[in-house]
Structure 1
Amino acid sequence: MSDDNPFAPPTPASRPLPPPSAPTAPAGAAPGPDAGRPGHGGGEREQPTTRLPPLTTVQPVSPPGPGPVPPPPPPPPAERRSRGLGGGSLTLVATLALLAGLVGGIGGSAVMDAREDDARPADAALPEAVGSTPVERPEGSVAAIAADALPSVVSIAVRGAEGEATGSGMVLKADGYILTNNHVVADATASGAPVFVTFSDGHEKQAEIVGATPDYDLAVLKVDETGLTPLVLGDSDAVVVGDSVLAAGSPLGLDATVTTGIVSALHRPVQAGEQSATAFIDAIQTDAAINPGNSGGPLLNSAGEVIGINSAIAQAPGSLTATGNIGLGFAIPSNQARRTAEQLIESGEATFPVIGVLLDQTYQGEGVRVATTAQGGQPPVTPDGPADRAGIAPGDVILAIDGRPVSRSDELIVAIRALAPGDAVTLRVRPGGETEGEGREVRVVLDEKTSG
């Protein structure tokens, strides 16, 4: 199969949010996303009344020894209980106790009289703050990032004959350009259903689709509005595992929602979309809560810059029903989003890079093997294509790209699609007739193919 075509995997594939249907994915692809509506219930229970048993005399624990523990000695005779404290003493104690009680009562009465003099009427107004003093949030705090970002995050709805599909997006340019996922507006692309954008202040605008690419799962919309505040696209190549992130969007239709987490992995090969239109994403993985409806919303770093477009969540292996967020979300890197959005705005189409080979999806050994036979009328190596010019032959095994080992077809595909046509990569290739060895390094200049 071609490096620009999907492969059937043995494991579930990541799907978009909300998922239209389960995609066919390359072998070993990341678990697939699914739409979930996690919830929780609960309530308060009345606490039971605890009754303490009457106090009893407890004997200290004796050290172990032979034979049974002897019973406690009998209490002393009644006449010995008052030893050292005669009847006169008891009378004195009672008198002192009464006197102390009277003194306490008098003292308490005096205190109450003093308080009554200063008491306010029952209808006196309670104290309140004069004016409104805003609380200052430190720069870089979650609250500060959210306050700056949310006015530029939008909700998107496609209102078709069969219902409404929703997602999220972000302001890309001040003159009305909006960036979102292709799968958010796929129904509108297919059927011509109207697309509506709702801004943070609640006003709504109908949008047109400027361009969309299923290969990168991105789309650009345009509304008739100016003076918008765009979010800044940061450098996703500078992201490292452990960076703090904030996801913004409209999960389950709840607009202006933010969640936080970290970058939990990079270069995660993820497939999103339907079988006929599968996107291969070199994704940023995060544990920030992402749910259906978050698709197309921004993933921001601690500087408030967009470093990814939230696109998919994982579903537990073997699960046949939607589970919602399980702490594994995936975002399209911002550098890829920038490159593709610029192409969509300029021409309405996007391109992606290829090396010009078909990949053998049945291969189980080390690396990724180039097919040995034609498929669908396509030769295993495109004549005069990038791989052919680099000396790669049918049956050769690609072991690494730019020093990064690859063991599955989708890993090689997403690593190539994360680059741009015209970029050069170094592939480590082992001849097809060999089963061992490190192979040789070859330089390949990527070719271009139009998305769609």
Structure 2
Amino acid sequence: MSERDRGSDDWQPWDREPPSGPATEPVPAAEPQWAGAAGAEPTTELPAGPPPPPYQPISGSWGAPPVPPAASSAHPVSQPEPRPGRRGPGWGALVGVALATALVAGTTGGIVGGALADRGSGSSGGTSVAAPQPGAGATTRPRGSVANIAATALPSVVTLRVEGADGGATGSGWVYDDRGHVVTNNHVVAGAGDSTITVVLSNGKQVSGKVVGRDASYDLAVVRVEGADLAPLPVGSSSDVVVGDEVIAVGAPLGLDSTVTSGIVSALDRPVTPGQQDDQSFINAIQTDAAINPGNSGGPLLDMQGRVIGVNSAIARVPGTSLGGQSGNIGVGFAIPSDQVSTTVDQLISTGKAEHPIIGVYLDSSYDGEGVRVAEDGPNGDPAVNPGGPADEAGIEAGDVITAFEGRPVSDDGELVVKIRARRVGESVRLTIVRDGRERDVTMVLQGSE
């Protein structure tokens, strides 16, 4: 997918290079918004909500959270045995991406606008700090209960503090492997640059971290943590999730570290595009009613076996409210599916970049009929269908209308992009197109583009 033509309002290139924004203006009923943590002014990619009194940390000490009581071992004794720690790029899975429907998305990455004071005991001069231990619920509550899962998972969930040119930000993250890699959202660390990130453990100890890779399109990033031997969380398969499954969200909403909420999976494959025109993300989201608030971004969404099935990334915003008017959770939150997370994170750890599947066309965003229409021309005189690309090889032409992807109808440009991004490079996909009133199916092999 090539870069969008900023000077055209009639169409946008959706499928040459990874797009930096939606082809169409956000639907009024579904303005995606990153939910920054309390008290932040919106940044270019992270519009934030208002300070939520009385929890807004403006200045002074943060106040360390209580240290969870130590269990009899560093790992849960009553939790199902987690998978062995990942030592590098591991199992791959399908990648999910999506665009906003009639919902309003708002990110849950935390932005904190005041000074971030030190709290707890920090690591010093490369000295390794003691890793957090599971809380009492890991042994005193039944296996599979919310209390048991929360106590077991909390030592592997961290709070990330980022200092950038636009001020401070805070969000959540979780330990991915035994090499110190922590997964979070791109929008949480986007302002960090080469700066060191402060990683606050669940026992209040602080260590440092550095971004090793990030991808705005999938809204994922990996931070390497130094100075603590942290246990990774087991990762489940989001393809096994069904609507109604119970889930648990863990993170630092409103700057409140080690917060646990629970709910159910409300919907699957919900297309959501939080972010702004120049830094859009595409999430084929798991929708949940578990309370997710500013600051939860990057934290894990767990199933009732304590496995990560998603990364909390966005929350709904009531239509008509300003970007700065986000008041918090309204029971509609969104998480990046773990299948997408695993594939993208392994790429970020290996190369620092993620690969995006494309079909190689520009779409006409002025088209308002059924399906999605391929543009007549690309920007700067480029062809609308990339010569030699997947769509060209499959026989798609300028002006064709794409009505379905893998047999499922598509209604707008972003939805098609979402469905394509949910697949892997090299995978074959089937599109239904209409030309001159005649419908036919075409098959193509997805190409990759950074």
CA distance in 2 between counterparts of 1:174 and 1:355 reads: 36
Give the corresponding residue for 2:43.
20
SS at match of 1:237: helix
Give the corresponding residue for 1:297.
299
User: Structure 1-normalised TM-score?
Assistant: 0.73
Q: 1:33 aligned to 2:110?
A: no
Q: For 1:333-352, what aligned pairs fall within 5 Å after superposition?
A: 333-352=337-356
Give the corresponding residue for 2:78.
none
Give the corresponding residue for 2:197.
195
Moved over 4 A (4+): 21-29, 34-37, 132-135
CA distance in 2 between counterparts of 1:134 and 1:352 reads: 39
Give the corresponding residue for 1:326.
330
Q: For 1:196-275, what aligned pairs fall within 5 Å after superposition?
A: 196-225=198-227, 227-275=229-277
Aligned residue type for 1:336: Q
Aligned residue type for 1:204: Q
Give the corresponding residue for 2:310.
308
SS at match of 2:210: strand
CA distance in 2 between counterparts of 1:133 and 1:161 reads: 41
- TM superposition shift of 1:21: 5.0
Give the corresponding residue for 2:408.
404
Which of 393, 396, 413 in structure 2 is aligned with 1:392?
Answer: 396
Contact kept? 1:207, 1:223, Cα under 8 Å: yes
CA distance in 1 between counterparts of 2:340 and 2:243 reads: 18
Gaps of 5+ in 1: 38-131
Specify which structure has the bigger relative contact order, considering alpha-carbon pairs within 8 angstroms and separated by 6 or more residues: 2
Contact kept? 2:406, 2:429, Cα under 8 Å: yes
- TM superposition shift of 1:138: 1.2
Moved more, 281-290 or 222-231: 222-231
1:270–1:379 distance in 2 versus 1, CA, 3 Å: same
SS at match of 1:293: coil
Contact kept? 2:109, 2:172, Cα under 8 Å: no
SS at match of 1:274: coil
Q: 1:358 aligned to 2:362?
A: yes
CA distance in 2 between counterparts of 1:279 and 1:272 reads: 6
CA distance in 2 between counterparts of 1:30 and 1:376 reads: 34
Structure 1 vs Structure 2: percent identity of aligned residues? 51
1:404–1:202 distance in 2 versus 1, CA, 3 Å: same
Give the corresponding residue for 2:189.
185
Aligned residue type for 1:150: L
CA distance in 1 between counterparts of 2:345 and 2:321 reads: 34
Structural RMSD (CA): 2.4
Larger radius of gyration: 1
Aligned residue type for 1:221: V
CA distance in 1 between counterparts of 2:380 and 2:265 reads: 40
Give the corresponding residue for 1:47.
none
Contact kept? 1:7, 1:26, Cα under 8 Å: no
CA distance in 2 between counterparts of 1:269 and 1:159 reads: 31
Aligned residue type for 1:20: T
Gaps of 5+ in 2: 1-11, 37-41, 48-97, 111-135
CA distance in 2 between counterparts of 1:328 and 1:31 reads: 9
Contact kept? 1:17, 1:33, Cα under 8 Å: yes
